[in-house]
Amino acid sequence: MKFLSDKAVDHLRQSANLPDLSGTRYQLLDRVARGGMGVVYAALDEILGRRVALKILDVSVPEGELARRLNREARVLARLEHPGIVPVHDVGTLSDGRVFYTMKFVEGQRLDKHIETVTSLPERLRLFSRICDAVAFAHAQGVLHRDLKPANVMVGAFGEVLVMDWGLAKILREGSSEAADDDPQATVVQSSQSSDLPPEATEATQITGHGTVLGTPGYMSPEQAAGDIANVNERSDIFSLGALLRFLCFPAASTKSNSSWRQEKALDAICAKATENDPAKRYAKVSDLSADVSRFLDGLPVSACKETIFDKVLRFYRRYTVPILLIAAYLVMRVLLLAFPHR
Amino acid sequence: MNKVLLGLLLGAVLGVFDGLTALWTPDPAIRAGITGIVIGSTFKGLVAGLLCGLFARKVRSVPMGVLLGLFLGFLFALLVVLNVHNYYFRIILPGSIVGLIVGYATQRYGDSPANVPVTTR
């Protein structure tokens, strides 16, 4: 009697977990990642001959609410046509009844990985501004993301920034066909319950049953964490963006070459305003937050903090460092020429 | 403020200042001719500012702008020195730096018309 090796058993287990794409136009290539809604695979669109990202429910997760949400996520994404939002190509159902949808395959890195290579603060802020653009567009379309965090932002090979994982998106606009799909009674809690999803999924967000939704500590607004769904609105995403900005600008102390950024009072004030516990004290719109970041980048005063005279002088010096130094050099040279006329 | 106007203003201000510094020279003959020196220095700054401003409208490149400003400042100062036959160092060095400042400022600041090609050199 022969026994299978552990490796072979693992391989068989993985193969059994792979979705059956027969009857679709897609050929499975590889497993990419797990998200809150299911598993993302790389697949080949056999008709168009292009690589796509195929998101599908995890095998062990029962159908019902989750399938409905995945389907809804696809429809939410489909209405968000923006360069900063990953486009959906197709949505369908597998032979086993599971819902899938395909989207653009983004070759790049998650933001949290990508920024390890970005040591320039202005470059990080420009990345943030592009995230804001995408979120502002979604808000203009009446869609809240509700799960903004570094792991849900991809930076492509050519620097394109894409906001991913709209599985928790909430549609605000009344009269929309999606509005009925949203669950107004859902509460938001950090799920720590065991599931069949692997650890990498639980560290991010998870879907739970009726009455509970996901979230990521540190990025979730207080009202979202408290399950105060009635008060979850654009300002909740602004809280997440503020936390994201803090992550980008004030990384862990262990991160090298960033200690000077901690002295950026204006930037700290922007983060603080965006992540106020009281939603009314936050920025009213994403565009307001983005505008403040742009003003900071341009060396202009930001609305989030009042400046002292010293702050103004320091900002002026930072903004015009080169001309000030050139003129100072000119004056010093003039003084030296006058002081030593015969040399 | 557009780049040409910025160049003219900055060139004029720095030119006036550059000319006025002659007041502190020990030579009484120079102090006596301060009006002519200031007018000449201002004119020099205006021309350098105008040329740098026009250049900045066409080409967006800080290094190129700085080089042009430096060259124009040096050239105009050299023309002055060739007439005066004295104070080579004290005229050419500040004049060149004034040109450099104007060249840098016109590239870096001031509004430019849209669709100006960006040169990275």
By CB atoms closer than 10 A (0-12, 13-18, 19+), residue A203 is exposed
SS3 A102: strand
Q: pLDDT: is A208 or A314 the higher one?
A: A314
Helix, strand or coil, per DSSP, at residue A202? helix
Helices B3-20 and B88-108: angle between axes, nearest 10 degrees: 160
Residue with tokens 């390890």: A116
- Count the Cβ atoms, other than its own, within 10 Å of residue A125: 20
Quick one: tokens of B43?
A: 């004119």
CA-based nearest distance A253→chain B, Å? 35
Mark residue A21 as left, alpha or beta (left: phi above 0; alpha: psi -120 to 50; beta: remaining): alpha
Look at A338 and B105 and tell me if their CB atoms are within 8 Å.
Answer: no
pLDDT digits (tens, 9 = 90+) for B27-37: 787 778 888 88
User: A49: closest CA among A63, A29, A64, A20?
Assistant: A29
Q: The pTM is what? A: 0.69
Catalytic residue among A45, A58, A147, A288: A147
* Predicted confidence (pLDDT) at residue A209 exceeds the cutoff of 70: no
Tokens of B18: 């550059």
A325 pLDDT more than 80? yes
Active site residue A147: yes
Among the listed ranges A60-69, A147-156, B75-84, which one has the minimum average pLDDT value?
A: A60-69
Predicted-complex ipTM score: 0.77
pLDDT of residue A35: 67
Q: Where are the alpha helices (DSSP H) in A42-106?
A: 65-78
For residue B11, the model assigns a pLDDT of 92
| Percent of chain A whose pLDDT exceeds 70 | 74
pLDDT digits (tens, 9 = 90+) for A246-302: 999 887 644 444 555 555 788 889 999 999 999 999 999 999 999 999 999 888 889
Residue A118 has pLDDT above 90, yes or no: no
Name A45's bridge partners. A26, A50
- In terms of CA atoms, which chain B residue is nearest residue A334? B94
Q: B65-113: per-residue pLDDT in tens?
A: 999 999 999 999 998 888 877 778 888 888 899 999 999 999 988 887 6
Choice between B118 and A47, residue whose per-residue pLDDT is larger: A47
Q: Fill in the amino acid letter for A273.
A: K
Minimal-distance CA residue of chain A relative to B18: A334
Contact flag A337-B97 (C-beta cutoff 8 Å): no
Chain B: closest CA distance from residue A316 (Å):
14
